[in-house]
Homo-oligomer: A and B are copies of this chain.
Amino acid sequence: MIDALSVLRNWLTAHDVDAFILPRGDRYLGEYVAPCDEMLAWLTGFTGSAGFAVMTEKSACLYTDGRYQTQGAQELKGTGFTLRHSARDKWDEDLAAEFPGGGKIAFDPWLHSIDWFRQNDSKLKVKHFHLHALAHDPINELWQDRPAPPTATAEIHPIQYAGETSASKCKRLGEKLLQENILAEVINDPTLAAWLFNLRGRDVPHIPIAQARGILYANGEAELFIAPEKISDALRGELEKHITIAAPGDLAESIAALHNKSVRLPGGQTPYALLQMAEHAKVTVDTGASVIAPARAIKNDVEIAGMRLAHQRDHNALTRLFSGLAGLSAGGMTEAELTKTIAAARAGQADYVDESFPAIVGWQGNGAIVHYRPPESGSAEIVGDGILLVDSGGQYRCGTTDITRTFAVGTPTARQREIYTRVLKGHFAIARAQFPVGTTGAQLDALARQYLWEIGLDYDHGTGHGVGSFLSVHEGPQSISNRPNTTALQPGMILSNEPGCYLPGEFGVRIENLILVAPTDRANFLKFETLTRVPYDEALIDRVLLTAQELKQLNDYQVWAKKS
């Protein structure tokens, strides 16, 4: 890795730049990236899913959050990079300490959002730094054996799964743009393009997307910018019924044609490079939220039926497998082996495509690491008495799943049962909640935490995230979280319900089902309907802590989940 760093430092000198910042991520600003976009791993050796490097002539730092401090320390050994904690160590302050008079910081404007640029630019200006947007990706010059970009073929997401034609989606969302006096929305996020155009692909792990961009116009027309080799003639014929297909490089020309028009570039999901392009073309830029994301969040009846079917597949794959985990106390299986067993069980189901994310299988203290992934070799053996946390999901063509169960292997302690039961009480409070139309997930979040708070415990993550329909397992704008969120829950939205509790070095508990926002008999009230159908481990439930209402809720769920 020292080599990559030396090469980059020569580049800094040659280009008269004081610092270069490189984030983990690609030009689509997505959660999972193709091998050719693992630039941060190439440069630093760090393989975590979040972080960024800042390099100068003298220093080289890798900033990542609390989840990755242990892994980061190991991976950075001997690379010349120093590990920093992104919540505690501020990169702008580190730079200011090295360059008290300020300086020039280069960045690739395709890898950072408009919002990132604006927030950092104003912060850095005070310290006399100037953010310099590069016209070319320096990594491309420097990374000799860079893998080729993904070339997977795109495919239509057929109407029997999508439930609405792309033409209909374009028409109604074009009208939304019109209502907001916006002439067009530029789509940089391939998961939004995938939903709008009923298109899927295999360009990155775990999310079935084709790398593509788009423009939706207020009149309902649209353009899709995608590498021609990804599109078969049949697919082209299908798409060209209502949209125009163009090459990725044609985007600039289409943006230039929007000269003097009001155009939406969602600030959080659009690279700064597209803002430069739009400003160069004298477009009137609006960086408000996408009109497409809120529409995608509300699943139609066909998508909901597909999600139910996907959960039936998960039920088939997991219910029996999970009922045997208590017996692992005799030993003989590692976390990594169990991970493979779970993936194989799902792979035996119809419509299965991929895991919806790399499964988290954490035994004892590993279960307390929220984003733990067992290493392929050398993972812990599950043996004796302890707590096992299993968080996994599947991509089926009909829908996406995400489920966490926590198991007692051998005999649990009273404290383990109390904590599990309090997590379950919170999970149940969300599951049975009725709430007025207009309520946000932020308002409901404390219902899941209240029983842990009673004994001075909590969990440092959201209670629920939105989930896509054969798309990303993490999808906005809705969430159930202690962070402010003004998106009202609406019928058809699907979220996770996953409170947890983590005792570092001891064990972790998380219980997760997917839930669907549904109407009630009362016009002004909504409720949740649980989609996930895999029993809870009763060995971890202390029934004395449950109310009569909760006991009934438990019994009803277990009967339903065990039914084949």
Question: Across the interface, which residues of B come within 8 angstroms of A482, CB to CB?
Answer: 439, 443
Nearest to A527 among chain B residues (CB) is B453
Q: For the side of the interface on A, what is the size category?
A: 20 to 34
Count identical subunits in the complex.
2
- How many angstroms from the CA of A436 to the CA of B435 in the assembled complex? 24
Question: Across the interface, which residues of B come within 8 angstroms of A456, CB to CB?
Answer: 434, 520, 522, 524-525
What 0/1 pattern do residues 437 to 459 of A give for CB contact below 8 A with B? Answer: 00100111111001001101010
Q: Are B429's CB and A450's CB within 8 A?
A: yes
Which of B447, B484, B520 contacts A446, CB < 8 Å? B447
> Is A341 on the interface with B (CB-CB < 8 A)?
no
Residues 490-515 of A at the B interface (beta carbon under 8 Å):
none
Separation in Å of the A542 CB from the closest CB of chain B? Answer: 16
Q: Are A442's CB and B484's CB within 8 A?
A: yes
Nearest to A432 among chain B residues (CB) is B454
Q: Are A435's CB and B447's CB within 8 A?
A: no
Which of B439, B453, B525 contacts A435, CB < 8 Å? B453
Q: Are B434's CB and A454's CB within 8 A?
A: yes
Residues 338-363 of A at the B interface (beta carbon under 8 Å):
none
Question: Across the interface, which residues of B come within 8 angstroms of A445, CB to CB?
Answer: 443
Question: Across the interface, which residues of B come within 8 angstroms of A414, CB to CB?
Answer: none
> Is A547 on the interface with B (CB-CB < 8 A)?
yes
A450-B447 in contact given A458-B436, A486-B484, A547-B547 (Cβ < 8 Å) = yes
> Is A159 on the interface with B (CB-CB < 8 A)?
no
- How many angstroms from the CA of A194 to the CA of B26 in the assembled complex? 55
Nearest to A450 among chain B residues (CB) is B447
Nearest to A520 among chain B residues (CB) is B456
- How many angstroms from the CA of A445 to the CA of B439 in the assembled complex? 11
Inter-chain pairs besides A434-B453, A435-B446, A439-B446, 7 sampled, C-beta below 8 Å: A434-B454, A435-B453, A436-B458, A443-B445, A447-B450, A453-B525, A484-B484
